A and B are shown apart, each in its own frame.
Chain A
Amino acid sequence: EVQLVESGGTLVQPGGSLTLSCAASGFTFGDYWMNWVRQAPGEGPEWVANINQDGTERHYVDSAKGRFTISRDNAENSLYLQMNRLKAEDTALYYCARDPSRGYSYGYEDYWGQGTLVTVSS
């Protein structure tokens, strides 16, 4: 059974930093593109970033470029999102999600974790 378990969300002050983690199990983690998708309270999902199988290709939504870094450790079956210079508008539930492609990214997500909440507030 595919499982994705996020952790690391917390209350952080504006301008602060935070790293989210996602532990994957039930599939060969290193075979798949992986994503971070966030959802602000009462809003629709927003795709944030993705990373290819060996970590050599990464893409970001404009609002995350220069502030967020997606990375992975295939030996540990883990995905990460390092977030710097956090803003109030980054407040959201952050989901780790798998792209179903074993080749190049399809762009949609077939499995999602339960999310970890990031609140940016003073």
Chain B
Amino acid sequence: IQMTQSPSTLSASVGDRITITCRASQTISGWLAWYQQKAGKAPKLLIYEASSLESGVPSRFSGRGSGTEFTLAISSLQPDDFATYYCQQYKNSPYTFGQGTKLETK
């Protein structure tokens, strides 16, 4: 299953609301996770089952979608949110990731 994220790069400012899209090449129901990765660090789980917030993740992060189209939203960007974001499908092995969306400061 191929996962395609858009945009590849997103420029935004602190306080902005942003949305990242992830599309699957075939239906994955709601079997989708979102991760945040900062330079030199391991990915960090944010969202699983498309919309369930991982424990300890701020509520400004939210996920939506099912089937083949999914979104990750951040309601009010904080300085700590500038990072790269990946989606991952886990409907079928091999569990594939998107190519990433780099969120940078405008």
| A interface, CB within 8 angstroms of B | 43-47, 50, 59-62, 95, 97, 100, 106-110, 112-115
Q: Does B93 contact A (CB under 8 A)?
A: yes
| B interface, CB within 8 angstroms of A | 31, 33, 35, 41-45, 48, 54, 86, 88, 90-91, 93-100
* Contacts A44-B100, A113-B42 given; does A108 touch B48 at CB 8 Å: yes
Q: Is the CB of B42 within 8 A of A114?
A: yes
Q: Smallest CB–CB gap between B47 and chain A, Å?
A: 10
Main secondary structure of the interface of B (DSSP, over half): loop
* Contacts A108-B33, A108-B45, A110-B45 given; does A44 touch B95 at CB 8 Å: no
Give A61 to B95 CA distance when docked, in angstroms.
8
Give A109 to B43 CA distance when docked, in angstroms.
9
Can you spell out 24 A-B residue pairs with CB atoms less than 8 angstroms apart?
A43-B99, A44-B97, A44-B98, A44-B100, A45-B43, A45-B86, A46-B96, A46-B97, A47-B88, A47-B95, A47-B96, A50-B93, A97-B42, A106-B90, A107-B91, A108-B88, A108-B95, A109-B43, A110-B45, A110-B48, A112-B42, A112-B44, A113-B42, A114-B42
